Amino acid sequence: MRLWPRRHGTSLDLLVAGLGNPGREYARNRHNVGWMVVDELARRHGGAWRGKFNGQLAEVRIDGHKVALLKPETYMNDSGRSVKAAMQFFKLEPDTVLVVHDEGDFDLGRLQARLGGGLAGHNGLRSIAQHLGTDEFLRLRVGVGRPERGDNRKLADFVLSDFRAEDDVEALVKEAADAVETLDAEGLEAAQRAINGRRS
């Protein structure tokens, strides 16, 4: 059973917003893992990107459900402007918005699905909470790790650096995309049972 029934007045089941920064220089950054995940979902389900809502939008069907994939192009700190515009257009409630984002407090590859919760100093989440007027939206937290011992970079600088070849980002993105599909098909609780606390 899914977490949410489709609400009257909307033709969409779920909006999946992957957070990141626009520009080739950011494309492989840890901070852009949200974009990588929605790119993978678009690839799997034949989505075509087009400019909309100050970002890139692709509409797909996943397991028979209508899902919109969004990549805000407002830069991370203003992600909420894009997410709110899409949410209003599709007449969605916050609990049918799933935000996929990097999590520097998690080991590389750890995933967690949740509804609501703190913002953990993440500027993208903060912007979305401010624009939506609530923090009660769905999140998929994707662990990107922290600086290792001897690495004196601040976390903010670390997440703006590229994944290493040995990080196997392709496997990480695949598992995160799988988690989005599980959440859409079976609901939040099923996704939590499948992924929370597990490391890829």
> Which residues are marked as active site?
31
> Which strand (E) or helix (H) includes residue 140?
strand 138-143
Beta bridge partners, 110, equal: 199
Dihedral sign, Cα of residue 121, residue 123, residue 129, residue 135: negative
**C-alpha 37 chain-centroid distance:** 7
Residue given tokens 């991370």 in the structure block: 76
Distance CA 158, CA 145 (A): 9
Distance CA 104, CA 141 (A): 9
The distance in angstroms from the start CA to the end CA of the chain is 26
